[in-house]
A and B are shown apart, each in its own frame.
Chain A
Amino acid sequence: MDIININSYMIISLMLFLFGLFTTITRRNIIGIILGIELILNSAALNFAAFSKFSASNLEGQLFSIFIIVIAAAEAAIALALMLSIFMRHGDINADKLDRLRG
């Protein structure tokens, strides 16, 4: 039990976060970016659960994790819908080409 302490969770969560970030930055495909964001969200959820487990007696952290999963699902649904309409409009979902907001 001593081996798996809060640091282990933190390290995993950090790695998940960094992978997510990396995916988000490097992917050209919007779907990839979404996946990266999902990873970041999951790292956050993991953190919540871990801190809850090691610090408090109640289940607030776990609750938040579930909440995040629900949000992530909703978000994924919206994102996919948006992507679908973008694709239908531009025929492409390459993020580099979607630069209409450029200053």
Chain B
Amino acid sequence: MRTFIEHYGFLIVLFPVLGAFINGIFGRQIQNKYGEKPIGYVASLTVFFSFIISVIAFSVIARDPQPSALICHVYNWLNVNFVRADVSFLFDPLSAVMILIVTGVGFLIHIYSIGYMKGDPGYYRFFAYLNLFIFSMLILVLAENMLLMFIGWEGVGLCSYLLIGFWYSKKENAIAGNKAFIVNRVGDFGFLLGILTLFWSLYNQIAANDRLAEFSNGTLSLLSFPFLAENIHLLKGVNLFGIPEYTGISVITAICLFLFLGATGKSAQIPLHVWLPDAMAGPTPVSALIHAATMVTAGIYMIGRLHFLFSMSSVALGIIAAVGALTALFAATIGCAQNDIKRVLAYSTISQLGYMFLGMGVAAYSAGIFHLMTHAFFKACLFLGAGSVLIALHHENDIRWMGGLKRYMPRTFLTFLIATLTISGIPPFSGFFSKDEILWKAWSSDHGHPILWFMGFVAAGMTAFYMTRLLLMTFFGENRRDQRPRDAGGGHGDQHSGSHDIRESPASMTVPLVILAFFAIIAGFIGIPEALGGSNRFSHFLGPVFGSHVEVQHHDPLEYILMAASVFIALFGIVSGVLFYSIKPGLPAKIVSRIKITYDVVYNKYYVDEIYDFVFVSGTKVIIIILAAFDQYVIDGIVNLTGFLLRCKSRISGSFDLRFVDGAVNFIADTTLSTGAGMRKIQTGKIQAYIMFLFFGMVVFVLYKIIF
């Protein structure tokens, strides 16, 4: 089996791209001729095949007692001097977990989409993009070197762009897509700088150690992860290009911060979080797959992949943890005030990603990855549930006009409930274990701090609160559809009143929901902390990757206290949610009116979008207009001025030419003419006159001869 993966592991990546190719190139003809079915089947089957091979790979990795790097080398992609990058796939516990999540959740969402996208004219396009996304994500996850990872890194960004703007005839969607891609590009810029800095600082160290000869046969790659893991210690204590190290900016810190900028872009952390809520413009399965379960976790995965690098810089880790905790809290507050079901979930995603970064930032890598996994299940479940609701309500997004759906959509409700409890951190659902482990590490780890824990703690309470609010407003109470003001936008112009047409979604949509909910319940059991008598198998499984970072578990009584505290705050959040939105429905309005300004600020997402819009978008527009004017009037003006001056000069020299040079020529001609006219008079035509001239001429000559 091991050799199978070594030789054919690339099939995992190949299948989805094959599906994307078939659907992308021939999809339109297929759809016109044979309908939607073959398209959905092709797309889902390719992902399913990938999933099968991923399971094989996973079992190979899991069974191997001493997992050495399992690399599937495909071909050499780039080989210029010291820049060498292969298309090779790296299988280790970390990537094995990730491919399982990507292909597994991806497959379920493909199945779900078959039902969700029914009847859309761009059906083939949707599945082509979705397959392309799975392909890119797998490249990102399996990449053996940083440049290949960068392909996946931007590839998922591309798919995200294409899918956000999937319904492109609405301008807002297209703009949201642009925003996502461009904000991500800011992150990619950081990522690129990180690669550049890493490359040359490592190169310099290797050159200083006289080890360049190792590269001469051209098989070793400077940017491959195994090589980096082995040689990163060379960078210890190296300062950043001559900046003295006591300023705190070692080269490692600089690289980490650059890469982290990339991670904030992809994983929607402060300050680059703005694109994710807008990305909800895409179809809901996309939000579930890309903007919740997989793509946005790429930043966390990247930090996990390069943990050896990040571990060397406590400054960078501290910043990551702080940004993560801040984002978790910040996004949670916004989540409390949103009314769009998908936006609430989007802010919840940002907040949960913040948790993961908090985990990574305190060097609790396996905890971060653990939360990544559980989050993939429950957040995909939540989004797909939301999608199911949207289909039933004909794309009514606003939870203020929902309510009472429990009766009509029991399966959706049940899975949504489970997922809500999971995200709130109620034991024994998986979210509890993963979140709690992060919170415990935030307090107890060497890089942790009680303040970090406290921020996460508060955010956990808020998460429970807004999720309860969402659940109650969507599924409980009376249906408020009739109360929707007709002029309140809505866009779809549906005039349905009453709730008689609300019905449960088809099986292709509910089955994935049930499966995801099932995993949301049980996924936690593989990572039960030892404090609760578990064996934390997940952490041990990832042990070979994160190596020394698995700390010795000592049974600190504090751990139990913190655990109890987080259960308590989750329950508190739920209870207050119930109190606000079920028992005393008038209370929220009252409180809001009391803290109007604060509420407005939070409701408007702290005006970050507006600030960015003003500073960056308008700023850029002003700059480009100035520059274009500069180009047209100054630079080109100078050119035209030069041309003008040259023309003037040539006109002057032209007139000089006319007056003087030409004048001289004309003068000669004129003189000749006038002389001729004068001489003409001599030509009398009288022979005697000629003879006289002749004679006198002779006389003159003779006289001349005689006198001189």
Question: Which chain A residues have a beta carbon within 8 Å of chain B's beta carbons?
Answer: 21, 24-27, 33, 95-96, 98-103
Bound: A78/B653 CA distance, A? 65
Bound: A49/B703 CA distance, A? 28
- Is there an interface contact between A95 and B680, defined as CB atoms closer than 8 Å? no
Interface residue ranges of B660-685 to A (CB < 8 Å): 679-685
- Is there an interface contact between A103 and B680, defined as CB atoms closer than 8 Å? yes
Question: Which of A33, A101, A103 has the most chain B CB within a 10 Å cutoff?
Answer: A103
Residue of A with least CB distance to B683:
A103
- Is there an interface contact between A102 and B691, defined as CB atoms closer than 8 Å? no
Bound: A102/B687 CA distance, A? 10
A-B contacts, 7 listed (Cβ < 8 Å): A24-B691, A27-B688, A99-B684, A102-B685, A103-B679, A103-B681, A103-B684
- Is there an interface contact between A24 and B683, defined as CB atoms closer than 8 Å? no
- The 8 A-B residue pairs with the shortest CB-CB distance, nearest first, are A103-B683, A102-B685, A99-B685, A101-B685, A103-B680, A25-B688, A102-B684, A25-B692
Residue B63 at the chain A interface, CB threshold 8 Å? no
Bound: A40/B83 CA distance, A? 114
Residue B686 at the chain A interface, CB threshold 8 Å? yes
Residue of A with least CB distance to B679:
A103
- Is there an interface contact between A33 and B688, defined as CB atoms closer than 8 Å? yes
**Among candidates A21, A26, A33, residue contacting B687 with C-beta atoms closer than 8 Å:** A33
Bound: A101/B679 CA distance, A? 14
Residue B695 at the chain A interface, CB threshold 8 Å? yes
Measured CB to CB, the closest approach of chain B to A65, in angstroms, equals 24
Given the interface pairs A21-B695, A25-B692, the reply to whether A103 lies near B682 with Cβ below 8 Å is: yes
- Is there an interface contact between A24 and B688, defined as CB atoms closer than 8 Å? yes
Bound: A28/B692 CA distance, A? 14
**Among candidates B679, B682, B685, B695, residue contacting A100 with C-beta atoms closer than 8 Å:** B685
Bound: A25/B690 CA distance, A? 9
Measured CB to CB, the closest approach of chain A to B569, in angstroms, equals 128
CB-defined contacts of A27 to chain B, threshold 8 Å = 688
Bound: A7/B678 CA distance, A? 44
Chain B residues touching A, range = 10 to 19
Residue of A with least CB distance to B685:
A102
Given the interface pairs A21-B691, A24-B691, the reply to whether A95 lies near B686 with Cβ below 8 Å is: yes
Bound: A31/B540 CA distance, A? 150
CB-defined contacts of A103 to chain B, threshold 8 Å = 679-685
Residue of B with least CB distance to A96:
B686
CB-defined contacts of B684 to chain A, threshold 8 Å = 99, 102-103
CB-defined contacts of B683 to chain A, threshold 8 Å = 101-103
Bound: A27/B687 CA distance, A? 11
Bound: A18/B527 CA distance, A? 151
CB-defined contacts of A99 to chain B, threshold 8 Å = 684-686
A-contact 0/1 string along B688-700, CB 8 Å cutoff:
1001100100000
Measured CB to CB, the closest approach of chain B to A42, in angstroms, equals 17
CB-defined contacts of B686 to chain A, threshold 8 Å = 95-96, 99, 102
Measured CB to CB, the closest approach of chain B to A60, in angstroms, equals 27
Bound: A99/B679 CA distance, A? 16
**Among candidates B681, B682, B691, residue contacting A25 with C-beta atoms closer than 8 Å:** B691
Measured CB to CB, the closest approach of chain A to B104, in angstroms, equals 117
Bound: A103/B684 CA distance, A? 6
Bound: A3/B686 CA distance, A? 42
CB-defined contacts of B688 to chain A, threshold 8 Å = 24-27, 33, 95
Bound: A103/B681 CA distance, A? 7
Residue of B with least CB distance to A30:
B687
CB-defined contacts of A25 to chain B, threshold 8 Å = 688, 691-692, 695
Bound: A99/B695 CA distance, A? 20
CB-defined contacts of B695 to chain A, threshold 8 Å = 21, 25
- Is there an interface contact between A95 and B687, defined as CB atoms closer than 8 Å? yes
Bound: A66/B691 CA distance, A? 26
Bound: A99/B682 CA distance, A? 12
CB-defined contacts of A24 to chain B, threshold 8 Å = 688, 691
Bound: A33/B691 CA distance, A? 11
CB-defined contacts of B687 to chain A, threshold 8 Å = 33, 95
CB-defined contacts of A102 to chain B, threshold 8 Å = 683-686
CB-defined contacts of A100 to chain B, threshold 8 Å = 685
CB-defined contacts of B679 to chain A, threshold 8 Å = 103
Bound: A96/B683 CA distance, A? 13
Measured CB to CB, the closest approach of chain A to B28, in angstroms, equals 95
CB-defined contacts of A33 to chain B, threshold 8 Å = 687-688
Bound: A43/B687 CA distance, A? 21
